[in-house]
Structure 1
Amino acid sequence: MNFLYFILTGAGLLLASPFIFLRALISSSFRDQIKKRTAGARSLPKLNNTLWIHASSVGEVRLAKTLIEGLFKEGESRPIALSTFTPTGYALAKEEKLPNVFMLPLDFPIWLNLVFDRIQPSQLVLIEAEIWPCLLRQCKTRGIPVIQVNGRVSEKSVQRYGKFPAFFLWMVESIDSFSMRSQTDADRILQLGVAKEKVLVSGNIKFDVNYIPTEGSSRQELKTAGMVLVFGSTRPGEEGPIMEALVALQKELPNLIGVIAPRHMQRCREVEDLIREFKVDYTLLSQVYDLSGWKGSILLVDSLGKLNSFYKCATVVYVGGGFNPRFGGHNILEPAGLGKPVLFGKYMNNFEEEAKLLLQSGGGIQMQSEEELHPLLKRLLNDSEERLKLGQSAEKTVKGNSGALRRNIELIRSKQLA
């Protein structure tokens, strides 16, 4: 199976190389990404006995930050290296000044061997759902223990991997422990054939994240006596209904501020064009030097890693990605942990346990369609008592489900090489 995978991967890279070359000629950002990916860990100092943590994108990097801080607090003495897959994840990890950050190279021995030689890992920790066959086979060959923490498996993944069970079991053979975030995720990984003794439920580390934003300059804080609606991690197709609701609400509540933060920064130009269609004034966050003195009504967040500070000052929060099953929702625990009323869509397959808990506690409201956005927001903006009740329930839910961080740190310690 190893040989077949390497042959197919190599053939795929050869076939794709003309398209990669053409895109690199056209796009400077893609060239930069290719450069970082092929460089791998070469920019890092030579390390030894390293705890290697891999986090795919922004959400996983935030979780990795919590894990790394917890490990150091508990006395972790090994050097830690953090790899990411997406450019946005890499940018956030660098901005947060996390240790020894690099982009994961392509899943092929030529590039991965250089990483192993550079950082000399003694353990690999995978965040949530990242499975790279060659990376895992290299760990098995080198005798490096592997743990998946905060593991999640969607129903879609069960259906996809279920068609090729032998291939899936070959891929994950090198993983020693699957620390799953919920019983539902554990049942799904067992359904795919993973041995029961490898699977445990440790809870969701996202409940342990400190959602209070780091204190920064007062220039970075939104100061207003009015109410603030924050639309976080928005996806294609959502900004239209958001703008319709926001414009209508601002006619009724002139001091209302709307903050829109697309999930991916490269979509900001597209969202700008849409906002212009409504013939309203707006401001890009990157153009505001002193946010504390800003007097606008619509702010488009075009800078990475700023969303949580806007959640802090929000009156009501809408978290995007829940109206398309392809996206599966985004992190509703961030605003919930800050005691904010949270609205989200019906497709929360990537955050189904979190959504279930918030709904059960009365800390969140799930919408069936975008048409519900305006009437729901209007109701909440006009009912401070309901907002307070929702926010308190949300915060209580987050605090009441903490503890996974400690359990996963204990697991990492128990599985490291002697």
Structure 2
Amino acid sequence: MWLHGVSVGEVVSAVPILEELRRLWPGMRVHLTSTIEDALVVAGRTGFAFESMRFLPLDLPWTMDRVVDRIGPDVVLISETDFWPNMLHVLARRRVPTVLVNGRISYKIAGLYRSVRPFSVRMFGALARAFVQTGLDASRLASLGYPGDRAVVMGNTKYEAALRPLAQAPCDRLVERLAASPLSKVVGGSTHPGEEELLLDGLQGRSLLLVLAPRDVRRTDQLVKLAGERRWPATTFSRLEQGLPEPGVVVVDELGVLPRLYGAATAAFVWGTFDGSGGHNFLEAARFGVPVVVGPATRNFHGDVAAFLSERAIVQVAGPGDVSSALARLLDDPADARAVGERGRTILTRNQGAARRTAQEIATLVGASR
């Protein structure tokens, strides 16, 4: 089997499906490709045993032929959203069933491919099945010429990924050290340049631990310096054994640590929700019953945010200037903060099963193609 996931989130969301498939086929070997190094690093820490992990080569007919020859897949899974025309064409020509899993068709992608519809009809038509998150994803696929009887709404496997047991890791000891502090802890998850200042300035003067987990860990030194310029004592996560600034800032400088740090949080803000990135995965924080604040730009999780908002299980702010006040309200009212977080965890546990349903459909499809 060959799984392709463009980045970290897409790879992680596919793991529950792979685990269900391995229960059905204990000897199943899975080869992973991605376009992002971080995704391969995090994949190695999920606890799922991949046969191989490599970068996806350039999307050329002969390079894709070589990948298929090397892997020899009986089925190919594309996680969420990353479509390469030559890859899909080669797989269709060689009659390898290709399946979209946990499919997400954004407004941007739909608009792009709608403008070249004859091309998109052929490309998406190479998918034997499309197991998508929502009815909106299915309707957008249909608008691109994909046959409606081959698109199935399954739900979002990120709900299951968020509840997977975390494999033991060397960083656990440092997470426990941070969690043991009696101070409140605010986690800024997947921060982008320019966003950290909002927390550093907005929470200035509060006696707490501010944990900044940049989307790009190469920005660590820059953020430690930034915190110091704003008179916050600061250190990096990997140096916590040398001392914890209380109060102060901890900058995360290791991949795969953020989901564990949410477990120590009093409140969290998940970034990427003010710019064009569409937001990052807030479900990892909801797992621990942590109240989450997000901005308005949540297209990657629009349906999920709407569901959480309908049950007051998340806090959404209109603009960057509202972040610190929203977090302050949660910090100043622990009972309400706990209630928000627990409602979020309830929604998370209620929305399980997409991975199992998807795996069963894949097993049926592969069995029929043999």
TM-score range, shorter chain: over 0.9
Alpha-carbon separation, structure 1, partners of 2:95 and 2:13? 26
| Separation in 1, partners of 2:358, 2:241 | 41
**Preserved CA contact (<8 Å) 2:305 2:314:** yes
Aligned counterparts, 1:220-235, within 5 A: 220-221=175-176, 222=178, 223-235=180-192
Matched, 1:77 2:27: yes
- Return the match for 1:333 from 283, 293, 297: 283
Deviations 1:101-127 (A, max 9, x none): 111111113322222111111100000
Secondary structure of the residue that 2:300 maps to in structure 1?
Answer: coil
Aligned-partner Cα distance in 2 for 1:211–1:145:
28
Query: Is residue 192 from structure 1 mapped to residue 128 from structure 2 by the alignment?
Result: no
List aligned pairs for 1:233-382, cutoff 5 A. 233-247=190-204, 251=205, 253-254=206-207, 256-289=208-241, 294-296=244-246, 297-324=248-275, 326-382=276-332
The 8 Å contact of residues 46 and 166 in structure 2, kept in 1 or not, is answered as: no
Structure 2 CA distance for partners of 1:113 and 1:365, relative to 1, 3 Å: same
Q: Residues 11-90 of structure 1 correspond to what in structure 2 (within 5 A)?
A: 51-90=1-40
Q: 2:69 aligns with which of 85, 96, 117?
A: 117
2: distance between equivalents of 1:76 and 1:215?
A: 23
Separation in 1 of the partners of 2:292 and 2:131?
Answer: 28
**Which residue among 109, 112, 123 is the counterpart of 1:157?**
109
1:128 aligns with 2:85: no
1:402 is paired with a residue whose SS is coil
Q: Is the 8 A contact 1:213 1:312 kept in 2?
A: no
The change in CA–CA distance for 1:348 and 1:359 in structure 2 (over 3 A counts) is same
Quote how far apart the aligned CAs of 1:220 are: 4.0
- For normalisation by structure 1, the TM-score amounts to 0.82
Q: Quote the Cα distance in structure 1 between the aligned partners of 2:152 and 2:45.
A: 33
Q: 2:227, 2:249 within 8 Å by CA — same for their partners in 1? A: no
Q: In the TM superposition, what whole-angstrom CA distance separates every residue of 1:318-353 from its partner, at most 9, and x where no partner exists?
A: 0000001x1101111111122110100100011101
Unaligned runs of 5+ in 2: none
Per-residue Cα deviation, 1:124-183 (whole angstroms, up to 9, x for no partner): 000000111111111011110010011011112222111111111122121011111011
* TM-score (ref. length: structure 2): 0.93
What is the CA–CA distance in structure 2 between the aligned matches of 1:191 and 1:117, rounded to whole Å? 33
* Partners of 2:13 and 2:102 within 8 A in 1: no
Amino acid at match of 2:15: K
- Read off the aligned partner of 1:191 and give its amino acid letter: S
Please report how far the alpha carbon of residue 91 of structure 1 lies from its aligned counterpart in structure 2 after TM superposition. 1.7
Give the partner amino acid of 2:337: R
Tell me the secondary structure at the aligned position of residue 64 of structure 1.
helix
Match of 2:132 among 174, 180, 192: 180
Cα distance in 2 for residues equivalent to 1:358 and 1:211: 20
Q: Which residue of 2 aligns with 1:15?
A: none
Question: Do the aligned partners of 1:212 and 1:312 also contact (CA within 8 Å) in 2?
Answer: no
Residue 214 of structure 1 corresponds to 167
In structure 1, the gaps of 5 or more residues are 1-50
Alpha carbons 2:220, 2:236 under 8 Å: kept? no
Q: Which residue of 1 aligns with 2:353?
A: 403
Number of the residue aligned with 1:146: 98
AA of the residue aligned to 1:72: R
Report if the CA contact (8 A) 1:211-1:338 is conserved: no
Deviations along 1:216-258, whole A, 9 cap, x unmatched?
Answer: 45344222112110000111221111211232xxx2x42x111
- Equivalent position of 1:40 in the other structure: none
Larger radius of gyration: 1
Amino acid at match of 2:253: D
Question: Which ranges of 4 or more aligned residues in structure 1 deviate by more than 6 Å?
Answer: none
The number of equivalent residue pairs is 360
- Counterpart position of 1:6: none
SS in 2 for 1:185: helix
3-state SS of paired residue (1:82): strand
